A = this chain, B = another copy of it.
């Protein structure tokens, strides 16, 4: 681990989490909770396997990741964030908020994983009608469906399906996200391939913060 050799809190932080891939590994563990090595590889398209192993080792040494051997019959290794790793959440949020600007276009070849939607959905929106009945929106985009629950003042997103979703949105991620973020309207989203089932009015429950 190459260090900047500067007595400065920012430089010290970057000594620990400034290496390529490190913060994305924190993202995966933060989004999905404890992960197997293979889960991490799936959530980090493009990473070389040796690099993932190297990073996990360094992050363990630096106290932001903890490795836990699950006992038989499961017999697998689970990687967790430590408390110190969890404390990186404000950093990820600040960076993600700043980077949201670049989400307008999806570049050719950009990989996408549905669970990445959790951070933007839970942090870019609040419940516009906390006293209204809870609503469920299912997003069908990327590798797995995401269930968005809006109610009681909170917005939650996680992999899963609803028995009777109020609304189902299907299409390319940049279209689904663009619609949610009100970068364009329903008509434009449909022109870009969006399909909907159910009551599109429940989208009004998402109050856009950003």
Contact = CB atoms under 8 A, between A and B. Distances in A.
Interface of A: 3-18, 20, 23-24, 27, 45-46, 84, 87-88, 90-103, 106-107, 109-113, 116, 119-120, 173-174
Contacts of A112: 6-8
A9 B111 contact: no
Contact of A103 (B12, B20, B110): B12
Given A9-B100, A10-B92, 11 more contacts: A6-B112, A6-B116, A7-B103, A7-B111, A7-B116, A10-B23, A13-B96, A14-B23, A14-B95, A91-B94, A91-B98
Oligomer copy total: 2
Contacts of A91: 91, 94-95, 98
Contact of A45 (B3, B6, B109): B6
Nearest to A63: B101
A11 B99 contact: yes
B9 A96 contact: yes
Residue in A17, A20, A88, A109 whose Cβ sees the most chain B Cβ within 10 Å: A20
A24 B5 contact: no
Given A9-B120, A100-B9, A4 B16 contact: no
Contact of A111 (B6, B94, B107): B6
Top-5 shortest CB links A-B: A13-B99, A12-B102, A9-B99, A7-B110, A12-B99
Given A9-B102, A119-B9, A24 B14 contact: yes
Contact of A5 (B11, B45, B113): B45
A174 to B, nearest CB: 7
A95 B5 contact: no
Contacts of A17: 95
